[in-house]
Structure 1
Amino acid sequence: MTALTSALEITKLAHEMHVDEAELAFLATTSPDDLRDLRGIVSHAMFSRHESRVKGLAAVSKKLPAAVTAKIAEIAMGPMLSARVAAVMEPADAAKLAGHLNPEFLAELSVHLDPSRVEGIIAKLDDALVVDVGRRLMAQGHLLTLARFTGVVGAETSLKVVDGASGSDILQLALFIDELSVIDPILAGLPDETVTELAAATDEHDEAAEALLATLTEDSRARIASLT
Structure 2
Amino acid sequence: MSTLRTRAELQRLARLLDVPGERLHALAAVGHGPLAQLRERATAMLYDADREHLQRIAAATRLLPAAIAALIAEKSLGPLLCARIAGLLPADTALDIARRLPDAFLADLCLELDPRRARAVVERMPIERCVAVSLELARRGEYVTMGRFVDILGLDALLATVARLTDDAVLLKVAFYAEDRTRLDRVIERLPEARFGGIIDAALDGGGELWPEALSLIAELEPRWRRKFGELALSRAEASIRQIVQLSDAHQLWPALLPVADSIDEPEAVRRLHAALLVQDIALLERMAAAARHSPMYARLAELDWPAPLRAVIVAPA
Task: Name the TM-score class by shorter chain.
Answer: over 0.9
- The corresponding residue for 2:78 is 78
- The corresponding residue for 2:128 is 128
- The corresponding residue for 1:215 is 220
- The corresponding residue for 2:11 is 11
- Three-state SS of the structure 2 residue aligned to 1:162 is helix
Aligned CA distance change for structure 1 residues 22 and 225 (closer, same or farther; 3 Å): closer
The Cα offsets for residues 167-217 of structure 1, whole Å up to 9 and x where unpaired, read as 211111111001111111222222233221211333425532331122211
- The corresponding residue for 1:167 is 168
- Give the drift of 1:225: 2.9
Contact 1:107–1:136 (8 Å) recurs in 2: yes
> Which residue identity is paired with 1:63?
L
Alignment length, in residue pairs? 228
- The corresponding residue for 1:90 is 90
The Cα offsets for residues 28-77 of structure 1, whole Å up to 9 and x where unpaired, read as 11111111111000000011112111111111111111100100111111
Contact 1:166–1:194 (8 Å) recurs in 2: no
- The corresponding residue for 1:198 is 199
Q: TM-score, normalised by structure 1?
A: 0.93
2:133 aligned with 1:137? no
Distance 1:27 1:123 in 2: 33
Distance 2:5 2:96 in 1: 38
> Which residue identity is paired with 1:171?
L
> Which residue identity is paired with 2:199?
L
Contact 2:185–2:221 (8 Å) recurs in 1: yes
Distance 2:154 2:225 in 1: 18
Structure-to-structure mapping, 1:30-179, within 5 angstroms? 30-163=30-163, 164-179=165-180
Contact 1:184–1:216 (8 Å) recurs in 2: yes
Contact 1:92–1:124 (8 Å) recurs in 2: no
- Three-state SS of the structure 2 residue aligned to 1:123 is helix
The Cα offsets for residues 119-140 of structure 1, whole Å up to 9 and x where unpaired, read as 1112332222222222222222
Contact 1:10–1:35 (8 Å) recurs in 2: yes
Contact 2:200–2:229 (8 Å) recurs in 1: yes
- Give the drift of 1:153: 0.8
Question: Identity, % of aligned pairs?
Answer: 27
Deviates more, 1:65-74 or 1:154-163: 154-163
Distance 1:20 1:53 in 2: 30
> Which residue identity is paired with 1:212?
L
Contact 1:156–1:186 (8 Å) recurs in 2: no
Contact 1:184–1:215 (8 Å) recurs in 2: no
> Which residue identity is paired with 2:196?
V
> Which residue identity is paired with 2:214?
A
> Which residue identity is paired with 2:226?
R
Contact 1:16–1:43 (8 Å) recurs in 2: yes
Aligned CA distance change for structure 1 residues 130 and 208 (closer, same or farther; 3 Å): closer
List gaps (5 residues or longer) in structure 1. none
More contact order relative to length (CA 8 Å, sep ≥ 6): 1
Deviates more, 1:57-66 or 1:129-138: 129-138
Contact 1:154–1:182 (8 Å) recurs in 2: no
